[in-house]
Chains A and B, each alone.
Chain A
Amino acid sequence: MAGDEYRDVFIAEAQDLTASLEVDLVDLEEQAHDTELINRIFRAAHTMKSSAAMFGFPQIASLTHAMESVLDRVRDGLLAIDARVVNTLLDSLDCLRRMVDEATEGSDSDHSEHLTPLCDRLQQVAAGATTTATEPVESAESVAAPATSEAPEAATPEVSTYRIHLALNDDIFFQGTNPMLLLDELATLGDLEEVCCDTGRVPEIGEIDPLKFYLAWDVTLTTTASKEDVEEVFLFCRNDGDIRVEEVPDPAAGAPSSDTGAPAAKDGQADPVRSATERVQEEPASVAPAPSEAAPVAAADTPTAPPLTGALAEGAEATGLEAVAELAEDDIEILHEFHEESTEALAEIEEKILALEEDPTDMETIHALFRTFHSMKGSAGFLELEVLGKLAHETENLLDRARNGELLLDTDSIGLLLTSIDLARGLNDNIAAFLEKHAMPDASTLNKLPVGDHVAAIRRFLAGARPTASAEAVPPPVEPAKPIGKILVEKGAAAPADVGEAVSEQLAGSDKPIGTILVDKGKVAPAKVGEALAEQKAQRTQPTVNRAISAIRVDTERLDAMMNSVGEIVIAQSHALKLATEMEGEEAERLQTALYEVERLSRNLQDEVMGVRMMPIGPTFKQFARFVRDSSRELGKEVNFVITGEETELDKTVVEKIGDPLKHLIRNSLDHGLETPEERQAAGKSPKGTLELRAAHEGGSVVIEVVDDGRGIPRDKVLAKAIAKGLVTGDQELTDEQVYRLIFQPGFSTAEQVSSLSGRGVGMDVVKRNVDELRGSVDVESQEGKGSVLRIRLPLTLAIIEGMVVAVSGQAYIVPVLAIVESIRPRNADIQHVSGQGEVLFFRDEYLPLYRLYEWLGHEPQVTDPEEGIILVVEDSAGRRALLADDLLGQQQVVIKNLEDNFTKLPGISGATILAEGNVALILDLLGLYDQRQAASAGVVA
């Protein structure tokens, strides 16, 4: 098992990945053709598998491996998305989440009982097998892809053999890498046909350093996985040694080329494993001399590359549409998408290639370019666009060498890349012409492109590729400077068109720098070029400091501690300012000025820290997509789930705690609000109902709404039930709002039938209580037949509240302002004593129970006459009531400090704060105080 630090990194990543997988898998049902979505899901499963194997979670690795097999076939178009596929993946995800949760808690159960049948199911699904007797009966409906709902025949995946050389640095144990896990993960990809361990570096036992690593391996792996998948095994250690993955050419594909320096075949087959020594000796031979037109067409890394024939033959001209006429109607639709994506991608990558000219070591750009051509190759292969596929493949080979550090991109190679783009664009234009006419266009209107010549040129170039300088010679990484042209344009010294012209001239063969070309043409003054060069130089001298890392994970405990410290700074500063204002004289004034500045800065700091704790509500909303999907099916309802305002941010703690109440509300809407399709049609509505989750900022609060277009809340029914339960009397005149609020009373339910989801009379009161605990409020709007809106209003943060400072028997207490309806100076005439019910206050046409805070808090009274004190009318889930305090001392934002950390939890007290004077004030938990009072006087109706 990896160390805690790495384990935590894995768990944090796994939690993110399971959350995103859930959202994406639910989306997959509706967007079965979304290749980006499918790729994203695949990548998530793949990343999780790799990390799990790396960090010692074999069960997670094996499950994600099985999921990945299904997704791989989906990705390759060999398996259609239907309910069975999605349900199996979702069931796997549930199991995955349980395992991740356990890992989070530090426990490690054996899940084989669930894992084995689940992996079997995944295997059956991957194979396109029909439902087995042991598998839960799933709906056979095809969810979103009727045209492809018949799974194609299971095709045999292409099997490749790879030679992997793994020689890790001797300090690898200190990097947290376990080399055996790498081998183990390779084994999960396929068959490790040969594992040759080089023990030559291992010293004798008297000499060995047990914490250094001395072994190296040459491994032969036969697998259906791609080279990228194999390389991904080494994702976390690829810079920690000599790691090479090479595909062993299929001997059946053609005889090995003797001019490439490939090792002699043994019994007609390539030698599966060569020792590291042999390889080193051979390598110089694999780097051919400078490219020559007369050199044979063979790439160093593709010794068995098939000869170019047909439209791809050297000298031939291709349109790229050779097989398009045979595409099925469904594929034409995909061709449309492919064309759009390619157009967009080609526009983007041209700019990137030009940027590479300025900084040929920019790996980020090289990787991006590689991915673009890789995707293009995949899609072209699917659509049988052979010419474009081959063009993308060869270009990808070139970029692969660059990204592996085997090739330093220079003017020649960048020229090849640009030509690849031009050709790809020409082929893409032909596709557009075909799509426009929906038929093969007149040949005279099509681009006829020398793709075969270009592919051969890339191969020749690769055969003589210049390797990058050795690691020692590579200069320390520097931030890639902006191209000189870009700097000139940004400074307004040159027009973009002029720079473009200069770049074209340079690409056409001019060896002059851009600046010189522009000066020669009289487009830019030499001084401006000088300034731009100085700026560029300055940029180049700035060292790169993890520029790929733009975000880091921070433990929330650290944030809490930071928030606490900042709160203390604010308090201490307030105290200092108060003392300063009591002083007189010029020096006191200067001190006050300085302290006001400190106050401004500390408030800014407080806002910044609070901002760090804020997170968007989106992920919480999205996790309900699955819940809505499953629940609506269980209830036989059709629901369109909509999310708006997902970017709305609120405090992390609030986000974490709002999930449960929100789930109750959604469940309630699904169960009681939305009708069945038949009921909706009978009511003249569309059979599919809508359930919307909305979030928005409103003042200092966040409002979250659960909106449905269902049947609404039956006002009369609610009222009748409330009267029957004695919650209200029949003669009370209640507004709609008051009636709907009754559903939050404990035990209240109008459901005639208890379902597995709701209707047991619990839930809505729990929602109210949970929201109260978050210092929020909940209310309802409804229109019978039209739908309901359940609205939760929450504070942005739990760390700070707006508090009313009140005096009770000489002590200061804080009452949350959110709970206060009004504060009044009562007249004694408004206060009456009702026998058996205590004191009541007549307030705005209703009688409210009146409580004296000094009694509740156990103080000797200082103010007993209500006319001399102040009454706070407060409201929460226990209803409205009046509280008598001695005086109001003011309203202020207070930083909440909990008592549990250093003392103990007190019923009725939600925390404490330090006031500007430096004294401590307890924050009242009004609901807790009320409950405590009720419990103390049990049997007495207050």
Chain B
Amino acid sequence: MKRTKQGTLNLPRDLTVERAEGFCRDLQAVTGDGGDLIFFGDRVESADAAGLQLLVSTRAMARAAERPFAIRRPSTVLRDALALSGLGDLLEENS
């Protein structure tokens, strides 16, 4: 996961347990660079609890460090998964 020129981050297509380790490493890398944590979720095609809890974890880190955190342009899959799991607040601006 690399930052775009605008500094945003694109969430990967697969936010499931099969890719959780790689996704976790990516998140650890981007949280370490000190930039804003603004993710675009329009590419997400599959998501499960393993992927969502990594986003929750990132938000927790962002809150603790008082860094901006947001998920924008969520795909239907991501939006539905967050709604189903009661994590819809992750989509709130600067949540």
Q: Using CB atoms and an 8 Å cutoff, list the residues of chain A in contact with chain B.
A: 173, 178-180, 183-184, 187, 192, 194-197, 199, 202-206, 208, 210-211, 213-215, 217, 219
A180 adjacent to B60 (CB under 8 Å): no
From residue B30, how far is it (CB to closest CB) to chain A in Å?
Answer: 9
Given A210-B50, A213-B49, do A205 and B57 touch, yes or no (CB 8 Å)? yes
B49 adjacent to A215 (CB under 8 Å): yes
Distance, CA A194 to CA B85, complexed state (A): 10
The number of chain B residues with a CB under 8 A from chain A is: 26
From residue B15, how far is it (CB to closest CB) to chain A in Å?
Answer: 11
Given A211-B17, A211-B20, do A204 and B85 touch, yes or no (CB 8 Å)? no
Distance, CA A206 to CA B24, complexed state (A): 9
Which of A206, A213, A219 sits near B28, CB closer than 8 Å?
A206
Q: List 18 A-B contacts (CB under 8 A).
A: A180-B48, A183-B84, A183-B85, A187-B84, A195-B84, A199-B60, A199-B87, A202-B56, A202-B60, A204-B60, A205-B58, A205-B61, A206-B28, A208-B54, A210-B24, A211-B17, A213-B50, A215-B52
A196 adjacent to B57 (CB under 8 Å): no
Distance, CA A790 to CA B50, complexed state (A): 60
Which of A180, A196, A214 sits near B81, CB closer than 8 Å?
A180
- What would 5 more interface pairs be, CB under 8 Å, given A173-B50, A178-B49, A217-B86? A179-B49, A192-B84, A203-B57, A205-B54, A217-B85
From residue B10, how far is it (CB to closest CB) to chain A in Å?
Answer: 17
A214 adjacent to B53 (CB under 8 Å): yes
Report if B8 contacts A (CB, 8 A): no
From residue B46, how far is it (CB to closest CB) to chain A in Å?
Answer: 9
**What residues of A have a CB within 8 angstroms of the CB of B57 in the complex?**
202-205, 208
From residue A529, how far is it (CB to closest CB) to chain B in Å?
Answer: 56
A211 adjacent to B49 (CB under 8 Å): no
Distance, CA A259 to CA B56, complexed state (A): 40
A197 adjacent to B85 (CB under 8 Å): yes
A173 adjacent to B85 (CB under 8 Å): no
**What residues of A have a CB within 8 angstroms of the CB of B94 in the complex?**
none
Distance, CA A196 to CA B88, complexed state (A): 10
With both beta carbons as reference points, the residue of chain B lying nearest to A209 in the complex is identified as: B24
B54 adjacent to A210 (CB under 8 Å): yes
**What residues of B have a CB within 8 angstroms of the CB of A202 in the complex?**
53, 56-57, 60
Distance, CA A196 to CA B49, complexed state (A): 14
B85 adjacent to A178 (CB under 8 Å): no
Report if B23 contacts A (CB, 8 A): yes
From residue B37, how far is it (CB to closest CB) to chain A in Å?
Answer: 10
Interface centre among A195, A196, A197, A203 (most CB of B within 10 A): A197
From residue A214, how far is it (CB to closest CB) to chain B in Å?
Answer: 5
A199 adjacent to B24 (CB under 8 Å): no
**What residues of A have a CB within 8 angstroms of the CB of B47 in the complex?**
180
Distance, CA A851 to CA B27, complexed state (A): 79
B85 adjacent to A180 (CB under 8 Å): yes
**What residues of A have a CB within 8 angstroms of the CB of B27 in the complex?**
205
Interface centre among A206, A208, A213 (most CB of B within 10 A): A208
**What residues of B have a CB within 8 angstroms of the CB of A211 in the complex?**
17, 20-21, 50
B87 adjacent to A208 (CB under 8 Å): no
B87 adjacent to A197 (CB under 8 Å): yes
B81 adjacent to A205 (CB under 8 Å): no
**What residues of B have a CB within 8 angstroms of the CB of A184 in the complex?**
84
**What residues of B have a CB within 8 angstroms of the CB of A214 in the complex?**
53
With both beta carbons as reference points, the residue of chain B lying nearest to A187 in the complex is identified as: B84
Distance, CA A704 to CA B84, complexed state (A): 55
> Could you give, for residues 68-91 of chain B, a 1 whenever the CB lies within 8 Å of some chain A CB and a 0 otherwise?
000000000000010011110000
From residue B61, how far is it (CB to closest CB) to chain A in Å?
Answer: 5
**What residues of A have a CB within 8 angstroms of the CB of B61 in the complex?**
204-206
With both beta carbons as reference points, the residue of chain A lying nearest to B24 in the complex is identified as: A210
Distance, CA A808 to CA B56, complexed state (A): 79
Distance, CA A196 to CA B20, complexed state (A): 23
From residue B24, how far is it (CB to closest CB) to chain A in Å?
Answer: 4
**What residues of A have a CB within 8 angstroms of the CB of B56 in the complex?**
199, 202, 215
A197 adjacent to B86 (CB under 8 Å): yes
Interface centre among B58, B85, B87 (most CB of A within 10 A): B85
> Could you give, for residues 26-41 of chain B, a 1 whenever the CB lies within 8 Å of some chain A CB and a 0 otherwise?
0110010000000000
With both beta carbons as reference points, the residue of chain B lying nearest to A206 in the complex is identified as: B28
From residue B18, how far is it (CB to closest CB) to chain A in Å?
Answer: 10
Which of A180, A192, A204 sits near B49, CB closer than 8 Å?
A180
Distance, CA A179 to CA B49, complexed state (A): 7
**What residues of A have a CB within 8 angstroms of the CB of B49 in the complex?**
178-180, 213, 215
From residue B78, how far is it (CB to closest CB) to chain A in Å?
Answer: 12
Distance, CA A34 to CA B85, complexed state (A): 41
Given A202-B56, A202-B60, A213-B49, do A208 and B24 touch, yes or no (CB 8 Å)? yes
With both beta carbons as reference points, the residue of chain A lying nearest to B64 in the complex is identified as: A204
A210 adjacent to B23 (CB under 8 Å): yes
**What residues of B have a CB within 8 angstroms of the CB of A180 in the complex?**
47-49, 81, 84-85
Distance, CA A194 to CA B17, complexed state (A): 25
**What residues of A have a CB within 8 angstroms of the CB of B85 in the complex?**
180, 183, 195, 197, 215, 217
Distance, CA A197 to CA B87, complexed state (A): 7
Closest 3 CB pairs of A and B: A195-B86, A197-B86, A210-B24
Distance, CA A16 to CA B49, complexed state (A): 31
From residue B1, how far is it (CB to closest CB) to chain A in Å?
Answer: 13
Distance, CA A196 to CA B27, complexed state (A): 25
**What residues of A have a CB within 8 angstroms of the CB of B86 in the complex?**
194-197, 217, 219
**What residues of A have a CB within 8 angstroms of the CB of B87 in the complex?**
197, 199
B53 adjacent to A215 (CB under 8 Å): yes
With both beta carbons as reference points, the residue of chain A lying nearest to B31 in the complex is identified as: A205
